[in-house]
Amino acid sequence: MIDALISREAEMLQAAQAIEEGIGSGELHSIPPQTEEVDETGATAIEGRLLVRRALARERDPKLRKLKIEQMRRRGRPLGCEVCDFNFAHAYGELGEGYIEVHHVTPLHVSGPRETKLDDLACLCANCHRMCHRSRPGTTWRTPASLRDLVRKSTQSALHPVAPTSAS
């Protein structure tokens, strides 16, 4: 580690700054790729080496996922994405049975440490889960409900495109 700091001081300082900013904002973003990981054109990259990266992770209780799935079943709801209705069992058969990602409706980096109730969680497919966390200028996250509205609007637009109007 010390050798890397001495020989690649600028890169190490950049990585440290990214970690500091991630901690400060509550969201740890990807550490920038190291120069030897990407070629000049970006067309190829060295992959597969074992790397050590240190990051802070927020505490989560794994039993909540199981309990959320049980809650959905008790309520008679199919185990599918609460945003787009994707159902892993329907798509993948037995392999997808019982599979779903469980997401905090309000991310822990926003709420901070707190007691999580089952109603604070949502069942999402991997795509919708990533879209809830996808950053855009002015928005660092979105709720499953707001994403569901976005999906519905997008679907409606695709089904009923607005014809261009001619100026009279």
The whole-chain average pLDDT of the chain stands at: 84
CA distance 111 to 124: 20
Pairwise pLDDT comparison (68 vs 43), residue with the higher score: 68
Q: What is the pLDDT of residues 24-64, one digit of tens each?
A: 665 654 555 566 655 667 678 778 877 778 888 888 999 99
Mean pLDDT score, 68-81: 95
Model confidence at 82: pLDDT above 90? yes
Q: What is the pLDDT of residues 138-155, one digit of tens each?
A: 888 999 999 999 999 988
Give the CA radius of gyration of the chain.
Answer: 21
Nearest C-alpha neighbor of 32 from the set 10, 11, 4, 3: 11
pLDDT at position 144, please?
A: 97
Nearest C-alpha neighbor of 58 from the set 37, 28, 32, 102: 28
Cβ 98 vs Cβ 79: under 8 Å:
yes
Q: What is the pLDDT of residues 123-134, one digit of tens each?
A: 999 999 999 999
Model confidence at 109: pLDDT above 80? yes
* pTM over the 0.85 mark: no
Strand, coil or helix: 101: strand
